[in-house]
Structures are given as C-alpha cells and as structure tokens.
Amino acid sequence: MTAGGIVVQDVRRSFGSVHAVRHVSLQAHPGRVTGLVGPNGSGKTTLLLMLASLLQPDAGEIRIGGIDPVTQPQQARALLGWMPDTLGAWPALTVYETLVVTGKLYGMTRPDAEARAAVLLGEVDLEPLARSAAKVLSRGQKQRLALARALVHDPAVLLLDEPASGLDPQARVQLRVLLRRLAAQGRSILVSSHVLSELEEVVDDAVFMVAGETVAADRIAQASHRARSWRLRLLAPQGGTPSVDDLTRVAAVLHLDAGAVVADRRDLLISFSTDAQAAAALRAIIEAGVAVLEFAPSTGDLEHTFLDLREERP
C-alpha cells in the first residue's frame, strides 16, 4: 500500500446483521480533492468514521499518510482533520475559544493556538462572531466553525462530511475556493456530499458507493457514457414556455419523433448518446434559424453517473 494520502483496501464493517460497509477500496491522493458520492445508507459516514479512527473496521486495511488508524490512532489523528456533518460544539465557549481550546488539545501552546484561531476565523469568515457563543450559531455558521476546527493543527489529510450543508451561496463559493487552495498546498481531501453540483465544481476525482460497496471503474465508465439529457432554451417573448410549434420544429430539424423532444417549463429536453451528437444537433438547430438562448447538459457529470448507477442497482 502506498504511503501518501488515504488508502483503503477491502474494508468492511457491520452492525449486527446490518452490513453498512461491505467491500470498499479507494485512494485519495495528495494535492487532490476526492468526492465520495452515494445515496443515503450507502455507508459513506460509516467509512469516514473508520478513516477518522473513531470506528474500527471488521476487516481490511486503512492507511492515513502511511499510518494505520487502528493500531496507531494518535499518530493518525495528528495527520488528519475531521469535520463531521454536525458540529459537536462546547456550548459554553465562544467561537474563538472553541478554536483555541481545540488547538491546545492538539498540543499547541496558548499563544500559538490564539494566533492560529485568529487566522482561521478570517479563512472561514467568522471574525464578526468570534466572541459569540457557539451554541447560538446558525447551521451554516456551525459548518464554518467545524471546518475551522478541523484545520486548527494544519492537517495533511481532511475528511469532510457534508461541508456545504446549510451554507448560503456566497459561503459555498468561499468553501470551494478554500478547498482548492488547501489541495494546492499538497493536502489530501476527501469530501462526502449530497450536493453534487457543488462537488462538480471542486473535485478532481470521485469515488461512488452503492449498498456499502465502491463501484468498479469499468462500471462507472459505462454509466458515465450512457445517453444524457440536454436542456435547450429558445429565445421566447418575456421568457415564455416553449410552444407545440417549437417542439415540432426542433424535432423536425433533428429528424426525431415529436415525442423525443420534451417540454420542461421554459426548456426543451433532448437525449443524446455522445457529446459529439449534442454538438452536431446544436449546429443543425442554429443553421435552421432557431434562436437558441442556452444549451447544456441537464445534469453534471457526477449527477449523471450517480443517477445511472442508481437505476442499475438491483
């Protein structure tokens, strides 16, 4: 097993008769953001708890920067920053004090912990709330505090469970920028999220989990190359909805049956097997004199693959 980043080999974990994680193998490389994608109940959080050394696997091997979190939990925790999906804050402490105390728990002197807390409050845009009790924060503010707490000891590996949950649009953009900067510094970042559009913007690699198992690369490739729906928006008065004539005209230009072009509010939905087919269709529509306002896949790559894998699931 390689030493850098996160390496998981055939890990399993059950709770009685419930097999939460069956067969999971993955790698998250230094300098890259890896997305962990899967439906509820697929075993993502159980896997993250094992990576964070908070739960012991029944079988298989895990390495965090080359260290086994089962036999060397303290050494592994020194390397990783863990952000759970819910902040377990100390209610009596302020935001600033929460970060200072966390730093001291990692062995930092108080002056160093205070200096680090000040830096992180700026990183996650919580400076105006530094003296506020952690218990009064909103869901999104608690998420930002949880991320800052995970970064206190400058870890080489980050495990983030639903980091964008509760964040407003501006905060989500800031999170993406911060994660890319942290990855550029050489960290290994594993992010679990249901917000696939957010993951699409930030990840370099993706690991898909279904029913407690990581999906094989060849199966992912098959799913990602299946027909995809594209969204076509035509120029219409006052942004109106497409008419029956619009559907008929576009279908005729593309030599499709009328039922192959579907209206969805202001857009038309059309399926293409490849990106090349979609590009050729757009060219034909424009050459026919149809005024096109927008043309894009109706789902991102991650969402398209995820939905296809869900349809294949027995």
Tell me the average pLDDT across 40-60. Answer: 93
Distance CA 202, CA 216 (A): 22
pLDDT tens digits for range 110-125: 999 999 999 999 999 9
Evaluate if residue 309 carries a pLDDT over 80: no
Which tokens in the block code for residue 80? Answer: 């990783």
Strands 205-210 and 80-83: unpaired
Evaluate if residue 313 carries a pLDDT over 60: no
pLDDT score of 218: 67
**CB 68, CB 76: distance < 8 Å:** yes
**CB 202, CB 31: distance < 8 Å:** no
**What mean pLDDT is reported for the chain?**
88
Percentage of the chain lying above the pLDDT 90 cut = 55
pLDDT score of 310: 65
The tally of CA atoms less than 13 A away on the side-chain side of residue 111 is: 0
Tell me the average pLDDT across 159-174. Answer: 87
Which tokens in the block code for residue 295? Answer: 């043309």
**CB 312, CB 223: distance < 8 Å:** yes
In this structure, of 9-13, 29-33, 108-112, 216-220, the range with the lowest mean pLDDT score is: 216-220
Percentage of the chain lying above the pLDDT 70 cut = 91
| Alpha-helical regions (H) of 151-242 | 169-184, 196-202, 217-224
pLDDT score of 238: 61
Residue 309, Cβ neighbours under 10 Å: how many?
A: 21
Residues with Cβ < 8 Å from 76, sequence gap 6 or more?
53, 64, 65, 67, 68, 69
Evaluate if residue 20 carries a pLDDT over 90: yes
pLDDT score of 4: 75
pLDDT band at 15 (very low <50, low <70, confident <90, very high): very high
Q: Reply yes or no on domain 6-215 having CATH 3.40.50.150.
A: no
pLDDT score of 312: 53
Evaluate if residue 2 carries a pLDDT over 50: no
Q: Where are the domains of the chain?
A: 6-215, 227-312
pLDDT score of 5: 93
Evaluate if residue 1 carries a pLDDT over 70: no
Q: Count each helix (H run) and each strand (E run) in the chain, helices first.
A: 11, 13
**CB 232, CB 280: distance < 8 Å:** no
CATH architecture of 227-312: 2-Layer Sandwich (3.30)
Beta strands per DSSP E along the chain = 6-15, 18-28, 32-37, 59-64, 80-83, 157-161, 188-192, 205-210, 213-214, 228-234, 262-264, 267-272, 292-297
For residue 147, the 8-state DSSP code is H
Compute CA distances 187 → 22, 28, 31, 191, 259, whole Å.
Answer: 28, 10, 5, 12, 49
pLDDT tens digits for range 209-255: 888 888 876 666 666 667 778 899 998 766 677 888 888 899 999 99
Tell me the average pLDDT across 146-159. Answer: 95
Q: Global pTM? A: 0.80
